[in-house]
Structure formats: structure tokens, C-alpha cells
Structure 1
């Protein structure tokens, strides 16, 4: 076509199986340039795929990392293709220099599948890491259950020996990888390895571009490392907690971090369930990362813009850029990233981060919650409170009088508090049966946190149900009533029925909201039925009360 130039980058070539392809070059490429590939999959050649490219990715121009990198397209994930053809199409006759096709391959391994099965377990870390971080306002934010670099299989020899590290975290960016959304949970670690290979081997980055990645199932992956490749003897390093300088947002990589959603969220709309998992995972990770620095998720950050020779930033070098503290890539760069289907979730992500960063009592627990009134077993009350918090634990009797109290001041780090209640009165005698209220009060500075309230029942085993009556309400229905069993521990009622003397008992059923009546349905006229009713609470259950009636 007139004004259209097509240059073959690579003719049809048979190669070893690969799962990722991208094209890299030196210098810049005009936005109008199209980079396209054909793949040979399952013995057949595909149509031409167009690879998107965004020069606003990458390290800051003034960094040492920038001297070694190449520009490149977003990678395309394939299903282990065995052939490749590539071309560049331009309308102005200008093409980038030294274009190269980059391939990477990583298969799903048994370790990947085993990793998926272990996601509910603790994070495997080379060093002990705290379960929480604390904000200057006293909020405790839980550490996400990260899939570490070791777990997803990062080859540490591919990255730089000593990462660049900032001094703080002032903002976080949300990206997407612009790759396929068609992957299973067990295939995501292989995609991590392929992306890592493309960034380091294909584009010359010193590590993964992003600090963290999140798959569509809500699993969070450690991206760029914050630790030296060969730490000093005896030294420990918690890489995800370090403000490592990434290569994700041109001119704004220092004192920021990036989370990239694995997939293309400009062409693929997540389901409601997928969106909920993404929002929850991203918000939890954002909150944990910004909390130690007191970042307000609903505010703006002012960042000095570094060099951007490709001109893809929305700001100029040296500007004091004002952007949301939790931004999409498009808020800083001339791009659609993180895609038209993910970007609209940023307000909800910010709301969740704000909620997660509210100072609060965490992990409050009472064991046991019900105990026999004359049993000398102690009740243990525990919670996790912020650093330097003043706290008290009050136990009140049914009349609201405090019968026992513990109090203290937390140290300079967040931690657990505990109190063992022996349920004795001032004379050393066991307190009487009743429902006792437990209140955990915490004050951080001049701010009182919401009180945690719960109950402990000093109770007894329920007694058998009494005053059972039956009323026939139709040919096929009968209503059974009984008297409520008095007990400090909430009582529930379950029942079962059978026909005649030799019939098979039905499964146990519970009445709704501990009701003391139930309507039996689908009964047969003139048929004899037996019914058992049992009162139960946290301490156990009473002997069954039996009712026999004829419909």
C-alpha cells in the first residue's frame, strides 16, 4: 500500500518450543509502528498477531540500569509454539534499529501444582518476617501471603547483584502485563518465569520490571528483589518490604512501587468474581506496602520527575508531579495501562486500603467461650495491638459490674497482649453462672480504637426439653412446641423423626434461630410418628426428649 513499509524481522523459522515471544530494539519506535508475529502452534501457522508497545515502561533514564536496556513490545504468551515469523510495519518509513525476536519458554511443573495446593499455608521465607506492619497512626496491616521468588522459580543469576533502593514509599502504581488472560492458577508461576526471562534476557533489565504481580485468582507474587544477590554472612533481608526501585513507570520509579495484574485488562473484562479477587489482593498488598510510611490512599503525592528521553511520561523532567498516591499507570504515562476494564476499580481499591489502614484491635480471641460454672479451668483472652498503645481488658458480670481487669502499655512494636481470667470473685470463690461480657479497650495517642466486645458463658449442660406439646394443623402438618431451656450459654435445639417403631430416623435438623417450635410437614394421615428433641450448647447436649403421636 502507498506509504506503507513492511520489513521482515524474521522469516518463517522452526524453533524449539516456546511460551513467550516479544520483539526488542534499540532506541525508540514511532507509535504508528506495528510489530507483528505469526506462530506455528499444533502444526498450523496462525494469523498475524500485533504486539503492543509502550515506551513509558522501563527504568528511569538517569539510572545505571537504563544504560543496558532495550526497548520492546509487550510479550505474547503462546501455547508452546514451535515456529515463528516476525515483521514490522511502518507508515513513515522509519524503523527502530537492531530489531530482535525474543523467545522464552517455561513449562508448568509439579512444583507449580504443589505450590497451588499450599496457598493456604504460611509464606515460605528465607528469613523470619513480621506478620504485620504498623503505620504511624497505629494501624496494624497484615502481610500478604506472598509467593516468593524462590517459590515461583526465579533464576537469581539473571538479575543484578545489588538492587537500587529508595528511601521511602510515596506512591504505588497499578499496571497490567498485557499478556493472555487464558491461564490456570497452576500455570501462573510459569508465566512469571517467562516474563522474568523476557525482561532480563530479552530487554536487558536488571530484574523483573514490577515489584509485585497478581494473577487473576488473587495470588500475589514477589517481583523485583529488594535484596543483594549474595548477602553478607549473617545478614538477613526481607525483599518485599524493601523500597526497591523498579522499572515500571518512566521517570517515576524511585520511592514508588508497582503491582502488575497478569493478563490484558484492556481487551478482556474480568468476571465479577475475578474482579473481587483482584481488588482484594491488590488492596491488601497496597495497604501493607504503604502503611509503614503513613501514606493516605485517598490523597495525592508530589514526586520529582526523573529523565524521560522517550517523552512518554505525562510530565517533564524536573517537574513536581502531583498524582494520586495509588495510581494507574495511565495517570503518569501516555498509555491505556492498566486497561479500561481494570482502571475503574482504582476507587474501590483506595477505599479498601483506607479501611485496612484504620487502627484496630486485631486477632482478638477468647478460649474457651463457654465453661462450666464450677470448673476451675482458666479463660484465656488475647489480642494484637499497635505499638505504644495503652490497653485494658475488662470482664463484666451480667449486671455490668467489672469483676476483673488487666491493663498495660504496649512496647515500641506491635504485638500480642494476653490475660488469663480465673473467674473468681474478690474472696477467691468461683463466680456464679451467667453471661459475662469481655471488653478490650485500646488507645493510641489520643485516639480510642473501636472496643472489641465478646462474651464468655459460665454455664452448665442444658437440661432435657420439657412441656412438649403437639397441635395438628392440617391433614399433613403438625406443630410441635416445648419450653425454653434456661442456660447462660445460648441453647440451640435439634430434632429428628421416624415413622412407627421400626422406621429409620431422619437426619438431625436445627430449628431456626433457636426457636422452641417446629412444624412437621408431609405427614401421612393415621400414621404413627416418633420425634426426638435435644437441647445443645457449647458445653454439650442434654438427653433426648421423645414424643410419640398419631397424625
Structure 2
């Protein structure tokens, strides 16, 4: 029988859901209104303690942990480490540092706090505080343990429907007189919006965030800020909706924010989730980067990326979001922009600025560029140049990979060719690919295809490919010379692809396939 340390009466009731209890106890009452339940333990460290610790404690089940303190304007002055015990295996995790969130990210916040860490289903916790000689321990430190319950809808995330007007995502309440909403009419087409899982797809509890969303001024988005959520990477992508629900609950119930702080979140599989409500195609005012929320979009990658780079799929999703959000505002994702600092601050590199100062930053920047934090981690920070390049265009690494001639009995004076290509830029960022012969476009296909087909007359042709990035920027592959020979008389010869006489450095290999059943471009 498992021994329990729970049972002390609650000290305070928080909105009918969170119970503030002495560290040695927790009540038995369960919340039934929503699928997440937050329990808050009071962890009182004395400023004179040289290196206090919280001994191992058994708890009721939880799957997310954070540390909070009363002053929402203050940084975390010490290092807090936690480890937890798995319900399934009974083993204790490694020590996990709790990384500081930006103070003042949300006006009117009730408490300061760390990033919440996803632990998986756990029933025990241990905490340790480390400090240097000059740092005093903040009073009122407490561990917040969040039990995020399951919900059927979270097992089947709903991707927002894309229409000519944008995505069907969160409800858009009536605007106050000071709010501003807008729709762009720029060069990007609606289909450049990436697939986005709506708030309903991760079971957002809308009753937690009753205030109407705020919007920045028209064309006011100048940059995209990349974050990580500073938690374990040992989660399954099926758990991502539950993790986001936990972050939402923590931001609102423990920190006193109006809603989840980030505009978008991306899991390690590259799935994009709608964050703060107000419409994914609108310039929603988030709470993620102190002093710059009114000029930026905040995108958080689930996990910690100090040493672990993100996957190709995550980089692709970040690039698609940056391209979609910045170009309509007249900002190239590969450019530098100037932001107006709403408050004093400093960044990870030691640069300082005063309120009202203008600072120059990349249009796609890590949180550390605008705040003194390690976020989004060293490994992901080093990958942001790839995100900028993919988001900005043009298409890179475009090459003709192979050219094949195949037969067509109805056109004896023409040669049917299939041209396969390769590119370094992810295909979702490529709008279309054109095949050009002797200066004329003879075939066009979507960027997600890997080849296109066309007909060429007998003789010598100089052909090349041109790829159009979703930004409208064009890139061309090295031209290839193709010789179309007269069709052979033998039926047996007609049935197989015909080798072409090719000249040019663009071909990686010659793989001749039977493409007679393929559609023509």
C-alpha cells in the first residue's frame, strides 16, 4: 500500500480549482468542471538557508511542475532544480532546472513563474534550490503541480479549415473601441497559411480566458520571436495537446495571465497549434516577450533545445509561420528590423536598452535577442538562420535530377519527357515549379510534386527549371541540353523509355523509368 503524505486542510481556494496547501499536505477534493486540475504546494525557504532542499514527497498524480513567486516583476534569483517519480516505473527522473519566464510578459499578472516542465504521469516530487553568495532567496516560493486530465478530443487534433478568408479557428468576439483588426491584401495567397490545429483541437478550456483578445495595430507585426518551453523532450506527439492545455492552465490560474501567452506552439513532430485566441490570421497581442509583445508574434517549440536541435519538420513549420506572418506586413524574414522597447531591458548577450529606445534585431529572432534568457536554447538558436533562409526564399539547391523520354504513339514527331528535380528548401514553401524550354514555359506544376512532364519536338532543346518561392522570389537550375531523337519504328523499342543525349552539369544521375502511365504537365 502506497504511503501518502496528503490530507492537510487547504489554506486557500483558488477559483474553485487550485488549492494552496502546506507543503506536507494536499486535499482529496477533485475538480470536475474542466479536464485539468491544478494543485499548488507552498514551499517556504528561509533567506538564511545556505542551500535548502525539499525532501522527496509522495503526492497525488500530476504531470507538470513549475515554481512561482509573489512578485510578477521579479526574475528568479536562484536556480531551482526538481525531479519527479514516474507512476508507471516508480523511478525518479534526473534533476531538471526550472527556467525563468519573462517577468511582466502579461500586464496585471498575479505571480512570477518559471516555465512549466512536463513530467509525464508522476506521484512524487523533490526540489532543490541553489544560489550564489550574493543572491537572496525570494519569499513565497512554491511548487505548482498540475494534473492535466485526458480528453477524447485531444486524441484527434482538429486541423483548422482553410478558406479564402483564412482559417476557422477560435471565436472572434466583438471588439472594443480600442481594438484593431485587419485583413491583409498582399502578394501571398491564402494557401500559404500552413495547417494549424485550432484551440478546439487541443481542448482549450475557453472559460479560463473570458477576456476579449487584444490586437496590435494594422501592419504592426515586425518580427517573429522563437521560444522553447524549456521542458523535457521525452514526450510523445500524442501528448502535445495535453501539454498545451497544461501551459494554458498554468499561465492563467497560477500566473494570473489572461490566456496562454504564445501565439502559436509547435510540437517536435512539426504540428502547429493555435495559441492565444483571437484568430490565427489576425495580429493577436500575445504575452511572451517583455517589452515587445505589441510588435511581434511569439512561437514556442515544445521541449528544451539547449543541446538538442529541432527536427527538419519543426524548422519547416517555423519557416512557414514566419513567411506567412511577416511578408504581408512588408517584412522579409531574412532582414533586420527595428523594434521600439516598451520597457527597459537587456538580452542574453549583455546588450541593454532603456524605455522608448529603438533596437535592431533579426526579423526572426530567438527570445534571447530581446530578453536575458537562454531561450530558445543554444542548439535551436543556431538553427534560426536556416529558418530565415527558408522563410525568405528564394528556393535553394534547385537542380535537375534526371530527365527521361517515354513513348506516345499519338505524337510520333514529339518526345515526351519527365523531368525530376531536387531542392534544399522544403517543398511546402515552394509555390510552383516551371519547366522552360528555349525561353518558353512549357509546363508548370505545384511545388509539392517531385517531377513534371512535357512534350518536346524532335531536335535539340535547352531546358531548365524555375522554382517560385511562396514569397514570389524565383530561382533557376543550371540549364540542361536535351536531344529528342526521331521515334523508332520498332514497336518493342517504343514500349521502353528512350535515353536522351544530355549536356550540362545539372544531372545527378540517369535513371530511366517507364513513365508512360504518368499524367503530362
TM range (shorter): 0.5 to 0.7
- In structure 1, what is the equivalent of residue 256 of structure 2? 204
Cα contact 1:141–1:291 (8 A) shared by 2: no
Other structure's SS at 1:537 match: coil
- In structure 1, what is the equivalent of residue 335 of structure 2? 299
- In structure 1, what is the equivalent of residue 95 of structure 2? 49
**Mapping for residues 324-403 of structure 1, pairs under 5 Å:** 324-355=362-393, 372=410
- In structure 2, what is the equivalent of residue 480 of structure 1? none
- In structure 2, what is the equivalent of residue 19 of structure 1? 63
The alpha-carbon deviation at position 55 of structure 1 amounts to 5.0
Other structure's SS at 2:148 match: coil
Give the number of the structure whose alpha-carbon radius of gyration is greater.
Answer: 1
d(CA) in 1 for partners of 2:435, 2:410: 20
- In structure 1, what is the equivalent of residue 271 of structure 2? 219
Cα contact 2:436–2:465 (8 A) shared by 1: no
Number of residue equivalences: 395
1:244–1:89: structure 2 CA closer, same or farther, 3 Å change rule?
Answer: same
The alpha-carbon deviation at position 41 of structure 1 amounts to 2.8
d(CA) in 2 for partners of 1:179, 1:330: 17
d(CA) in 2 for partners of 1:394, 1:175: 40
Cα contact 1:462–1:536 (8 A) shared by 2: no
Other structure's SS at 2:142 match: strand
d(CA) in 2 for partners of 1:93, 1:450: 55
- In structure 2, what is the equivalent of residue 252 of structure 1? 292
Other structure's SS at 2:332 match: coil
The alpha-carbon deviation at position 80 of structure 1 amounts to 1.1
Deviations 1:355-403 (A, max 9, x none): 1699xxxxxxxxxx989569xxxxxxxxxxxxxxxxxx9999xxx899x
Cα contact 2:334–2:362 (8 A) shared by 1: yes
- In structure 1, what is the equivalent of residue 242 of structure 2? 190
The alpha-carbon deviation at position 315 of structure 1 amounts to 2.4
**Mapping for residues 270-281 of structure 1, pairs under 5 Å:** 270=309, 274-281=310-317
Cα contact 1:246–1:253 (8 A) shared by 2: yes
Other structure's SS at 1:342 match: helix
The alpha-carbon deviation at position 102 of structure 1 amounts to 1.6
Cα contact 1:171–1:301 (8 A) shared by 2: yes
* TM-score of the aligned structures, taking structure 1 as reference length: 0.59
d(CA) in 2 for partners of 1:35, 1:201: 21
Once the two structures are overlaid, the 10-residue window that deviates more, 37-46 or 434-443, is: 434-443
Among 159, 162, 173, the residue aligned to 2:225: 173
- In structure 1, what is the equivalent of residue 123 of structure 2? 82
Cα contact 1:13–1:85 (8 A) shared by 2: yes
Other structure's SS at 2:319 match: helix
Cα contact 2:347–2:370 (8 A) shared by 1: no
Deviations 1:509-535 (A, max 9, x none): xxx7449xxxxxxxxxxxxxxxxxxx8
The alpha-carbon deviation at position 319 of structure 1 amounts to 0.8
1:462–1:67: structure 2 CA closer, same or farther, 3 Å change rule?
Answer: farther
Cα contact 2:77–2:136 (8 A) shared by 1: no
Among 482, 491, 505, the residue aligned to 1:464: 491
Among 537, 543, 549, the residue aligned to 2:516: 537
Deviations 1:213-268 (A, max 9, x none): 1111111111112x2xxxxxxxxxxx1111111111111111211111111101x4
d(CA) in 2 for partners of 1:19, 1:464: 69
User: What stretches of structure 2 of length at least 5 have no aligned partner?
Assistant: 1-46, 168-182, 397-406, 413-433, 443-454, 500-509
- In structure 2, what is the equivalent of residue 5 of structure 1? 50
Among 146, 163, 169, the residue aligned to 2:213: 163
d(CA) in 1 for partners of 2:334, 2:461: 41
Cα contact 1:442–1:451 (8 A) shared by 2: yes
Cα contact 2:77–2:138 (8 A) shared by 1: no
- 2:308 pairs with 1:269: yes
d(CA) in 2 for partners of 1:77, 1:307: 31
User: What stretches of structure 1 of length at least 5 have no aligned partner?
Assistant: 60-64, 228-238, 359-368, 375-392, 405-422, 424-431, 466-483, 493-511, 516-534, 541-551
1:394–1:202: structure 2 CA closer, same or farther, 3 Å change rule?
Answer: closer
- In structure 1, what is the equivalent of residue 281 of structure 2? 241
The alpha-carbon deviation at position 49 of structure 1 amounts to 3.4
- 2:137 pairs with 1:95: yes
